[in-house]
Amino acid sequence: MKNIIFSIITLVTVAAVTISCNQSSNKNSDQQANDSTTIAAIPELQSPTLNDTVATVTSTDTSSQEAEKSDVKQAQKFTIAPIIKDYLTLKNALVSDNDQAAANAGKQLFTTLNNVNMKSIPANKHKEYMEIAENAKENAEHIGDNAGKIDHQREHLASLSKDVSDLIVLFGTTQKLYQDHCPMYNDGKGAVWISEAKAIKNPYYGGKMLTCGSVKKEF
Ligand SMILES: [Cu+2]
């Protein structure tokens, strides 16, 4: 899609330049010939432009190597820190039994996930990231839409916490994080959550059973 838009922009630019060139010499008796040349040139221009774009991706010439280098640079900048920050706000809202704050944090997390620039993610991690992010977005959205239904928010937290764990494994974290486990949640099937602190504060039961659970992993 970007390639097509780029081609269109290129065509429009070339056409505009050609037209203004024609206008400056429009007293010319070759005007009609110029017009037909301009029209004929447009479809011809399209395929080299597309081919150039493809060549940039596949060839190993200097300019594409430089493009790859800048992609790598951008990729090295990618961090899941903003996602973690929103997740922790959400998790802590549920620790405090605050469904409204959880909904707000869910909406914020949804926005943060939507704002992730795929170009900043290393190409070899795109597919895996996309799968995790799709699931995480759905969970964040449902939590955002379910103020007043804290049990339902917590169901989505269980799924979201797996997504966040997967993201940490995939991209790492500079912040010290803990994966905690609550053995009771979901009829004894258990559930994990991610915490920024070693002390157990259970977001699935909040005030009812705040210290139920244990640290399972450290990141
Ligand atoms: Cu839901």
- Shared domain for 48 and 145, answered yes or no, is no
Place of tokens 């966040």: 164
**How far apart are the CA of 154 and the centre of ligand 1, in A?**
10
**How far apart are the CA of 27 and the centre of ligand 1, in A?**
69
**How far apart are the CA of 12 and the centre of ligand 1, in A?**
46
- Shared domain for 83 and 149, answered yes or no, is yes
Q: 25 versus 206: which is more confidently predicted?
A: 206
Does a structural domain hold residue 120? yes
Does a structural domain hold residue 8? yes
- Shared domain for 139 and 51, answered yes or no, is no
- Shared domain for 113 and 168, answered yes or no, is yes
**How far apart are the CA of 145 and the centre of ligand 1, in A?**
8
Residues 6+ apart with CB under 8 A from 174: 79, 81
In the chain, where do the E strands start and end? 178-182, 191-195, 214-218
Does a structural domain hold residue 67? no
Does a structural domain hold residue 66? no
- Shared domain for 87 and 140, answered yes or no, is yes
Does a structural domain hold residue 163? yes
- Give dist(CA 20, CA 152) in Å, integer: 62
- Shared domain for 83 and 152, answered yes or no, is yes
- Shared domain for 82 and 169, answered yes or no, is yes
Kind and range of the H or E run holding 122: none
Mean pLDDT of the chain: 79
Domain containing residue 30: 2-57
Give the neighbor-by-neighbor strand order of the sheet with 178-182: 191-195, 178-182, 214-218
- Shared domain for 95 and 28, answered yes or no, is no
Ranges 25-34, 116-125, 187-196, 209-218: which has the least confidence = 25-34
The pLDDT score that the predictor gives to residue 77 is: 76
**How far apart are the CA of 119 and the centre of ligand 1, in A?**
30
pLDDT, one tens digit per residue, over 167-211 is 999 999 999 999 999 999 999 999 999 999 999 999 999 999 999
**How far apart are the CA of 71 and the centre of ligand 1, in A?**
37
Does a structural domain hold residue 189? yes
- Shared domain for 100 and 33, answered yes or no, is no
Kind and range of the H or E run holding 173: none
Kind and range of the H or E run holding 54: helix 31-58
**How far apart are the CA of 135 and the centre of ligand 1, in A?**
12
**How far apart are the CA of 80 and the centre of ligand 1, in A?**
24
The pLDDT score that the predictor gives to residue 50 is: 42
Prediction pTM value = 0.67
The pLDDT score that the predictor gives to residue 68 is: 60
- Shared domain for 111 and 12, answered yes or no, is no
Of the candidates 163, 187, 172, the residue with the CA atom closest to the CA atom of residue 78: 172
The total of structural domains in the chain comes to 2
**How far apart are the CA of 158 and the centre of ligand 1, in A?**
12
- Shared domain for 86 and 150, answered yes or no, is yes
Torsion sign, CA atoms 135, 136, 140, 146: positive
**How far apart are the CA of 142 and the centre of ligand 1, in A?**
5
Does a structural domain hold residue 198? yes
- Shared domain for 51 and 145, answered yes or no, is no
